[in-house]
Structure 1
Amino acid sequence: MAVTYKKLFHLLIDRGIQTSELTEKAGFSPNILTRLRRDQYVSLDSIEKICFALDCKVDDILEFIPVEKENKNG
């Protein structure tokens, strides 16, 4: 199963929050933001920081993609 963080970026747009604001507010490096944009692995600690900074739940910022769906889109 793969993970996508598209929901996070939609949430930021909906709330009018710049990605630079998120990195500052959540206290993580720009490298983490790059990993999020590329749907790469991000530690649970970073996910927790994002949720705390945005006052949201994990399922508000990420979504699991079943392997068969991932293979069809890839």
Structure 2
Amino acid sequence: MAITYKKLFHLLIDREMTPAELQKEAGYSANISTRLRRDHYVSLESMEKICRVLNCKVDDIIEFIPDKEDENDG
């Protein structure tokens, strides 16, 4: 199953906040920002930091995308 953080970036736009501002306020590294942009795994600890700053739930910023194999299993 793949993951995407598109919902996070849409939320940032809605709140008129840049990814750099979020990074600074949440206190995570530039590496995490890169991982988010590339839809790579980010630790739950980092997700918690982001959710605290944005006052949101994890499912407000993450979306799971089923693999094609998973779609065929249903």
**TM-score, normalised to structure 1's length?**
0.90
Please list every run of at least 4 consecutive aligned residues from structure 1 whose deviation after the TM superposition is greater than 3 angstroms: none
Q: Give the fraction of aligned pairs with identical amino acids, expressed as a percent.
A: 68
Deviations 1:2-53 (A, max 9, x none): 1100000000001000111100110001110100000001000000000001
Q: Secondary structure at the match of 1:3?
A: strand
Give the match for residue 40 of structure 2. 40
Over alpha carbons, which structure has the higher Rg?
2
Distance, in Å, in 1 between the alignment partners of 2:44 and 2:62 is 12
* 2:9 alignment partner in structure 1: 9
Q: For this pair of structures, how many residues does the alignment match?
A: 69
Aligned Cα root-mean-square deviation (Å): 1.1
Give the residue type in structure 2 aligned to 1:61. Answer: I
The 5 A counterparts of 1:43-54 are 43-54=43-54
Unpaired segments of 5 or more residues in structure 1?
70-74
Gaps of 5+ in 2: 70-74
